Amino acid sequence: MAIQPAFSHPQDWRQTHLGRLLGHAMRRFDARVLHLMANNDDVPLALSNLAARAQVSAAHIHITRHLSLQGSRLSELAVSAGMTKQAMGDLVTQCEAWGLVQRTPDPQDARARRIVFTETGLVWLSAFERAVAQAEVEFRQEVGGDVATVVSLGLEAYAGAYADLESTA
C-alpha cells in the first residue's frame, strides 16, 4: 500500500516535499555561513569583500568542504564534491586567483598536480569552521535543541546511507 501524503491542493507537494525543504535549508545555511565570513575580521579583506558582494558562492564552499589538508588531485576533489572535473577546475582557478589554493606537482605522479590550501586558504578554512559552528548554534537556537539533535541524527543517517550506496555502485 502506497503512502499518500495529505496535501490541501494536489500540487502542494511540489513546494513542500522533503527534497525541496532540504535544498532551501542548505542554501539558507550556506548563505549564513558566507555572511558570517564576510563580516569576520580574521578573513583577509579582499576575500571578505568578495563574500560580501556575493562573488564567493556556495559552489566555492565545495573546495573548502572537500579539499584534503594534504591536498587533492582535481579529479578526487570533483568526485568528492559531486561535480564534473571541468566545473571543479573552474572553481579551483577562481580560488587560485584569490590566493586560497595553489596547484603543486604531485609527488606520486609527475604528470599530475595537487590542489593545496595556501596560508591564506588555511585562514579561510579556519574562518569557515567558526562560521559553520556559529550557524549551527543559530539553527539550534531557532528550532530548539531537541529538534536540532533529531534533524542532525536523521540527516547523518540518511546521508550515510547515500554514501554507502555510492561506494558500492
State which residues form the domain around 148. 59-164
Would you say residue 93 lies in a domain? yes
Q: Give the pLDDT of residue 160.
A: 82
163 burial (CB, 10 Å; 0-12 / 13-18 / 19+) is exposed
106 CB-contact burial (10 Å; exposed 0-12 / middle 13-18 / buried 19+): middle
Residue 169 has pLDDT above 60, yes or no: no
- In the chain, DSSP assigns E strands to 72-73, 101-106, 109-117
Higher pLDDT, 136 or 165: 136
In a domain, 16, yes or no: no
pLDDT of residue 168: 58
CATH number, domain containing residue 151: 1.10.10.10
What per-residue confidence (pLDDT) applies to 81? 86
Kindly report the average pLDDT of the chain as a whole number.
85
Q: Computed from CA positions of residues 8, 10, 11, 14, in that sequence, does the dihedral angle turn out positive or negative? A: positive
Is residue 50 in a domain?
A: no
Can you give the pLDDT at residue 2? Answer: 58
Rounded distance, CA 162 to CA 169, Å?
11
Whether the per-residue pLDDT at 65 is higher than 80: the answer is: yes
Q: Is-contact 63 92, C-beta < 8 A?
A: yes
Does residue 30 fall inside a structural domain? no
Q: 83 lies in a domain?
A: yes
Q: Domain count of the chain?
A: 1
Which grid coordinates belong to 38? 564576510
Please state, in angstroms and rounded to a whole number, the distance separating the CA atoms of residues 149 and 140. 8
Residue 72 domain-assigned (yes or no): yes
Cα-based angle 34, 144, 59 (whole degrees, multiple of 5): 20
Instruction: Look at residue 5 and tell me if it is in a domain.
Output: no
* Sign of the four-CA dihedral 128, 133, 139, 142: negative
Asked whether residue 82 carries a pLDDT value surpassing 70, the answer given is yes
pLDDT higher than threshold 80 for residue 9: no
10 is a domain residue: no
